[in-house]
Chains A and B, each alone.
Chain A
Amino acid sequence: MNNFKLFLPVIIFMVLAVFMWRGLYMDSRTLPSVLIDRPLPEFQLRSLELGDQLVSTADLPDGPFILNIWGSYCLPCLQENPIFMAAKEQNVIPIIGLNYKDRDEAARDWLELNGNPFELNIIDDTGRYGIDLGVYGAPETFLVDADRVIRFKHIGVINYRIWEDEIMPAIAAVQAGGSS
């Protein structure tokens, strides 16, 4: 008992040290999404491609797809664009864009200048659909399976490491789940 008391400060220090050490590497800026394993919320929105004709979930790809929240004002979106371009070239998975709180002309110019990896660009100029998705700033990237259920979400820019280590395995899992 006395020995235990003697080491109590050391034990307290070690417990605190472990918590604080872990805290150093925790990212408090990315919030866990409550929408994982929930169906993609319904929408009726314009798109960059189809003018005034409204699009809805019915216009989305049949199989799994990526939903990327982007804006022409968003520098990280420009950074991750080449990754999506490469994925489009290699037919990895269909990519849908959600043009978030942007102006149509600015968005079109941006796509023309930097390349358009998106099959369809849904326009959420008010940010209302973004709220339904729990979005709090571009870029955010969702992975939706064939049943229109959100299976994965990445907040912030995607670089090659994240693409290889996190996104690709998630895509593989979703594509395997859809075919079985």
Chain B
Amino acid sequence: MNVSTRLFGLTLVFVLLAVFKPGKAHAQIDVFDFETPEQEQRYRQLSNDFRCPMCQNANLSSSPGGVASDLRREIYRMIMEGQTDAQIEEFMLARYGDFILYRPRLTAQTLLLWFGPIMFLLAGAWVARNIIRNSGMKKFNHNRAEADASINQDTYVVADIVISDEERRRLNRLLAEHDDSAHNQDNTGR
């Protein structure tokens, strides 16, 4: 095994470690006893859905913060008391406000948050459409028509017309001249 193969192997290991970081964002381990798997499932779901008010960029299940473990304990208590997910969410909202939700509710205040990205996407699509329109046939035709008003735009629709070699040569010559004059006019006209 030569040096470069070793180096390659080593690099590969580091890259793989970087991509598949072991133990990334694992949940905090709580010792709660549930009566049914469904309760445990709800507990996991809820502590994933609520945001830790202290750590801010972590949900309750991945946050080691003091208040996060308190809130997980409260979720557990409410599940065992038979409260619904909606009731638990209400409990959290009444104390910590919208911040606690990773999925904000749809209210007048959060309208922009929900639909802002779609608005930007539509605006982008509109701009792209205009650019494509302006740079395509329209501009080409426009320049032609401006350069020589005597040539009708229909002239360029030649798909159905069979022309002889002599005619083709003449056409090319005309087009070349025409291109030159259009070009000159472009430069001087501005």
Contact = CB atoms under 8 A, between A and B. Distances in A.
Contacts, number: 46
Interface in A1-45: 28-29, 31-35
Nearest to B55: A136
Contacts of A135: 67
Interface residues of B, number: 15
A130 B96 CA distance: 11
A153 B99 CA distance: 17
B93 A127 contact: no
A101 B56 CA distance: 20
A131 B95 contact: yes
Interface residues of A, number: 19
B133 to A, nearest CB: 14
B125 interface: no
A137 B67 contact: yes
Contact of A32 (B66, B70, B71, B97): B97
B99 A35 contact: no
A34 B93 contact: yes
A31 B97 contact: yes
B145 interface: no
Given A127-B70, A131-B70, A136 B97 contact: no
B97 A101 contact: no
Nearest to A137: B54
B94 interface: yes
A106 B94 CA distance: 32
B43 to A, nearest CB: 17
Given A28-B56, A136-B54, A137-B54, A33 B70 contact: no
Given A29-B56, A136-B54, A127 B66 contact: yes
Contacts of A128: 70, 74
Contact of B74 (A101, A131, A136, A137): A131
A28 B97 CA distance: 14
A177 interface: no
A134 B71 CA distance: 11
Given A101-B66, A131-B74, A31 B95 contact: no
A134 B96 contact: yes
B102 to A, nearest CB: 14
A11 to B, nearest CB: 13
A132 interface: yes
B56 A34 contact: no
A127 B70 CA distance: 7
A126 B66 CA distance: 10
A141 B105 CA distance: 28
Contacts of B97: 31-34, 134
Given A31-B99, A134-B96, A137-B66, 14 more contacts: A31-B53, A31-B96, A32-B97, A126-B70, A128-B70, A130-B70, A131-B67, A131-B71, A131-B74, A131-B95, A132-B95, A133-B95, A136-B53, A136-B67
18 contacts: A31-B53, A31-B96, A31-B99, A32-B97, A34-B93, A34-B95, A35-B95, A126-B70, A128-B70, A131-B70, A131-B71, A131-B95, A132-B95, A134-B95, A136-B53, A136-B96, A137-B66, A137-B67
